[in-house]
Chain A
Amino acid sequence: MAYQPVLTSHVAEPNSFTLDFYLKNQRGYEGLRKALTQKPNDIIEQVKASGLRGRGGAGFPTGMKWQFVLKDTPKPKYICCNADESEPGTFKDHVLMERNPHLLIEGCAIACYAIGAKVAYIYIRGEFYHVQEILEAELEKAYKAGYLGQNIFGSGFDCDVFVHRGAGAYEAGEETALIESLEGKRAQPRLKPPFPAVEGLYQSPTAVNNVETLCNVPLIVLNGAEWFAQLGPEKNGGPKLYCVSGHVKKPGVYEASMNTTLRELIYDHAGGIRGDRQLKAIIPGGSSVPLLLPDQLDTPASFDAVQKAGSLLGSAGLIVLDDTVCMVWLAMNLLHFYRHESCGKCTPCREGGDWLYKLLQRVERGEGQDKDLDLLFGVANNIIGKTLCAFGDAAATPVLTTMKLFRHEYEAHVREGRCTLPADWRRQGPVLAGAH
C-alpha cells in the first residue's frame, strides 16, 4: 500500500495552519490531553520505544536525549526547539511551521511535560520573518484556547512557548551555539561535556530538539510507539520529510517512510532529472555529507542504510547533481559558504576553511598545480576532528568527497588549465513545477 503522509497530510489545503483546522482534521491537542493523564516518565518510555531519532542531522534517539536531562536539580529545565534550518539543501521544517504550526506547538508542550520543563523556546532563523509572524499569531490562539499557559486542561501543568528569531548565523543550528545565541551572545559552540542535558540554557538542564522531531511526538502519544516504529525499517521508524532540490524537475518537500529508496525520491517524487540528463551524483543529507554515486540509487533513504553506503542522511536535504556539474566548482561553492559561516572560534575551521576556498578558487580557474591538490587534501584532513563542533568536519567534507570520487576532474583542471566541461552549463535557468 502506498505510504500515507501523516506530518504533511493536510499542508496543501487552505488554512491548514489555523487552530480550527488543526482541531477538526488532525485530532488537535488530543495528544497533549492524553499525555497529561500519564506520568512524564511514561512519555519518555513511549518515545524511546518508538525509536524516534532526531531529525536535525545526527539521528540521535530522542527518548534517550530526554532521559539524560538531569532530574534532581532545583534549576528550571528548558526545551529548545531548533528551527534554525540553515543546512544548504534543507527546507522541511519551514513547511511544518508555516502549514502545520500547531503540531509543533503541541509537540513542544508534550516535550516540556516529559522532561519537567515549563518553558520552550522555538529558535527560528533570521530569514524566517514570515514564519515568526505565523507562529506568534498561532501561539496566541493556543494560549487563548487554554492549550498553553497556566494549568493546562486542569492538570496543574504550566507551559509557555516563545519564538526567538536569530539573525543570520548557520552556526546557530549547532545545539550549544543555539543556546549561546539564545542567551544573547555570539552563536559559538561550547566545549562538551557538560552536555546541554546537564548544563544547557542558563546553565540549566536543556533538551534541544529539531522541529520535525517534536512534530512526531504528538503522533507517538496518540497512536502509540508500535504504530510509529512499523512505519519504517527497524530503528528507522516513523514518517520522514525529504527535501529534494538541485537538478530535478519538481523540487520540493516529500514525506515518505524510510523504506523509500533514493531512486524513488528523485525519479518518482521529484519527477526525475531536469531535461532528462544523466545523474552525476547525489548529496543525500545537506551540503555537509559525502556524495553518493548513481550506482547507489537503490539505497533506502534511512539513517542506517545511507550511513552504510558511505554517507549520512543528515537533515535529509537531497541535492541532485546532473552531468553538467563541475565537482571542483561544487566544492568551491560550498567552501564559500563554510568560510563565510564559520563562527571563528576554532582555528582549524576558521583559517582552514578560508585556505581551502582560496586553493579551490585557484584550481577552478585553472591556475592550480599538482601540489595544490595534495595541499587541499592535507588541509581538509587537518580540520576534521579538530574542532569543538561538527562544523569543521562539515566544511572539509565537500573537498574530501569530491577529491575521492572525482579526482580526475581536479587533475584535468590542473593539466588543461581550465574546466573541461562546457562553459555555459551553470548559466541555465531554473526549473519550477508544482511541488509543495
Chain B
Amino acid sequence: MAYGATFHKSSRQLEDEGPPFEYTAENRARFDEIVTRYPPDRRRSAVLPALYLAQYQQGYITANVIRHVAGLLGITRADVEDVVSFYTMFYTRPVGKFVLQVCRTLSCALNGAERVTEELQAKLGIDPGQTDPDGTFTLIEVECLGACDRAPVVMVNDHWHEGLTPEQCSKFIDDIRARGQSAFTGCHLRKERT
C-alpha cells in the first residue's frame, strides 16, 4: 500500500517555494548589523527585522526565504514559519506594487471607512484581499492603524495617507498611478512641521 493512502496526512501546504533566495550584499550587511543589537546567544530576536529585509527585497515571504533566514539565525524553519504565519504584516503571496490597507476599526469606521473601501473596490474592480490583474494594487482591510485623529486612514505599503474621504478615492488611485509615493499625505506630524 502506498504510504499516506490510508493514514492521516496533513492537508496543510507549505507556502510557495519561490525562486532561490539570498540577501543582497547590502541587505546581508544590514542583517549583520541588526543581529549585534541582541545578545549573541539570542540571535532569534532578529527574526522580525530579518523577515522585513527579505520582504523588502523580494516582495513576499517564500519557503526559500524562511530557509535562508532560519539558516542565518540558527533556528528551525518551523520557528520562522511560526512567526510568519502569526504576524499580519508578512505576505506569503505576491502582492501588488501598492498595498492599500484601509483601517476599518471604530474611529475610522465612525468617519466613513466603509465607504472608502467600497469606493476603492469600485475603482479598482477588486474585493478586499485581492490584487488587480496588472499587479499594481492590492486592497486589504486592516484593524486599527493608530491614527484615529486623522480618520479614515489608509496605509499604502509603509506609508500613511490620512483623512481619505470617499469622494477622493478615485482621484487618489489616479494620483498614485501618476506619481507613485508622492501621492500619499504621509504622517501629518512629519509633513507640517519639518
B111 nearest CB across to chain A (Å): 4
* Chain B residues whose C-beta falls within 8 Å of the C-beta of A182 in the assembled complex: 45
Q: Which chain A residue has the least Cβ–Cβ distance from B39? A: A202
B48 in complex: contacting residue of A85, A181, A283, A287, CB < 8 Å: A181
On whether the beta carbons of B146 and A86 are closer than 8 Å, the reply is yes
A13, B149: Cβ atoms under 8 Å? no
Which of B8-16, B85-93, B173-181 contacts its partner?
B85-93
Please state if A246 and B107 are interface contacts (CB–CB under 8 Å).
Answer: yes
Residue of B nearest to A320 (CB): B110
User: Are A432 and B150 closer than 8 Å at their CB atoms?
Assistant: yes
Assess the B42–A202 pair: CB atoms within 8 A: yes
Bound Cα distance A311, B49 (Å): 38
With A168-B87, A429-B167, A430-B152 as known contacts, state yes or no: A130 contacts B49, CB within 8 Å: no
**B-contacting 9-mer, from A66-74, A94-102, A104-112, A227-235:** A94-102
Contacts of B79 in A (CB 8 A): 184-185
- Residue B52 at the chain A interface, CB threshold 8 Å: yes
Contact A164 B193 (CB under 8 A): no
B51 and A253 contact, CB distance less than 8 A: no
Contacts of B39 in A (CB 8 A): 76, 202
In this assembly, does A205 line the interface, its C-beta being within 8 Å of a C-beta of chain B?
Answer: no
* A431 to B163 CA separation, bound complex (whole angstroms): 8
**CB contact between A16 and one of B46, B145, B193 (< 8 Å): that residue:** B193
Q: Which residues of A sit under 8 angstroms from B190, Cβ to Cβ?
A: 98, 130, 134
How many chain B residues touch A (CB < 8 A): the figure is 56
B123 interface residue, CB < 8 Å from A?
no
Within 8 Å CB of B160, what residues of A? 130
Interface-central residue, A333, A427, A435, by most chain B CB under 10 Å? A333
Q: Could you tell me if A430 and B88 are in contact, using CB atoms closer than 8 angstroms? A: no
| Contact (A91, B147) CB under 8 Å given A167-B48, A186-B83, A428-B112 | yes
- The contact of A430 among B37, B46, B52, B111, by CB within 8 Å, is B111
Q: A98-B190, A427-B115 are in contact. Are A243 and B106 (CB under 8 A)?
A: no
Question: A429, B48: Cβ atoms under 8 Å?
Answer: no
A186 smallest CB distance to B (angstroms): 4
**Complex contact A340–B143 (CB within 8 A):** yes
Known: A185-B82, A426-B114. Contact between A169 and B88, CB under 8 A? Answer: yes
Check B86–A183 contact: CB distance below 8 A.
Answer: no
Nearest B-chain residue to A244, judged by Cβ: B149
CA distance A16 to B194 in the complex (A): 8
How far apart are B129's CB and chain A's nearest CB, in angstroms?
A: 13
Residues of A within 8 Å of B, CB-based: how many? Answer: 73
> Hey, which chain B residues are within 8 Å of A426, CB to CB?
109-110, 112, 114
Q: Point out the residue from B111, B112, B145, B148 that lies within 8 Å of A317, measured CB to CB.
A: B148
The residues in B between 162 and 186 inclusive whose CB is less than 8 angstroms from any CB of A are: 163, 165-167, 186
Whether B122 sits at the interface, judged by CB under 8 Å, is no
Beta-carbon contact of B110 and A246 below 8 Å: yes
- Compute how far the CA of A186 lies from the CA of B82 in the bound complex, rounded to whole angstroms: 7
B42, B106, B107: the one contacting A183 at CB < 8 Å is B42
- On whether A186 and B107 interact (CB within 8 A), knowing A90-B146, A94-B189, A430-B163, the answer reads no
A86, A88, A435 interface centre (most CB from chain B within 10 Å): A88
Q: How far is the CB of A73 from chain B (nearest CB, A)?
A: 15
If A243-B149, A337-B105, A430-B151 touch, whether A184 touches B45 (CB-CB below 8 Å) is yes
Q: Mark A182-209, 1 if CB is under 8 A from B, else 0.
A: 1111110000000000000010000000
A130's nearest neighbour on chain B, judged by CB, is B187
In the complex, whether A166 has a CB less than 8 A from a CB of chain B is yes
Chain A residues with Cβ below 8 Å from B90 are 167
Q: Given that A170-B143, A430-B165 are known contacts, is A251 also in contact with B149, CB under 8 Å in the complex?
A: yes
Residues of A with C-beta under 8 A to B26: none
Q: Could you tell me the distance between the alpha carbons of A435 and B163 in the complex, rounded to whole angstroms?
A: 13
> What 7 new A-B contacts, CB under 8 Å, besides A88-B144, A429-B167?
A94-B146, A127-B155, A169-B86, A185-B79, A283-B106, A333-B106, A429-B112
* Sampled A-B contacts (8; CB under 8 Å): A98-B187, A127-B155, A164-B37, A168-B142, A185-B82, A245-B151, A246-B110, A428-B112
